[in-house]
Amino acid sequence: MNSKPRIGVYPGTFDPVTRGHLDIISRATRVVDRLILGVAINEDKGPLFTLDERVAMLEEELKNLNNHDGSAIEVKPFDNLLTQFATSVGASVVIRGLRAVSDFEFEFQMVGMNSRLAPEVETVFLMAADKYQFISSRLVKEIGRLGGDVGEFVSPAVKSHLDKRFKRK
């Protein structure tokens, strides 16, 4: 029997972290013993929040995450290939959340490339819970930027960060 802890990486920009992300995080802890939230720097996406802000928001959210099955969870930024990052932290599993069929095509291509780069790292897909399938960070930012209420899609703490960024009380 293999007693080596199973380490997983859940990568993303988390700009900002949504209730959908938190759902995948809590469910991923059922699959791995230790979960590393890899915060991608990814300046190409033009993040609303700095890397440090995104890391801090995730760490803040983890303090309030109740159902994480006792798995250790940590947050680490990365700026290299996902496979390189996963290997560097000893991960054997990459967790990816799927919201809709449209996500699958892109993810399917990524799995193919990643399996060539690091065949020892498996990718596990978790479907977003029904009530979170429509939530994306991009849409949350758009709604927030245009003055809409994002409280249903993010935690109160993240909503506060968005309100400050968009200079609203």
Which active-site residues does the annotation give?
21, 45, 99, 137
Over the range 49-61, which residues count as b (16 or more CB within 10 Å of their CB) and which as e? Answer: bebeebbebbeeb
β partners of residue 97? 126
Q: What's the CA gap between 146 and 140, in Å, rounded?
A: 10
Q: What's the CA gap between 120 and 87, in Å, rounded?
A: 9
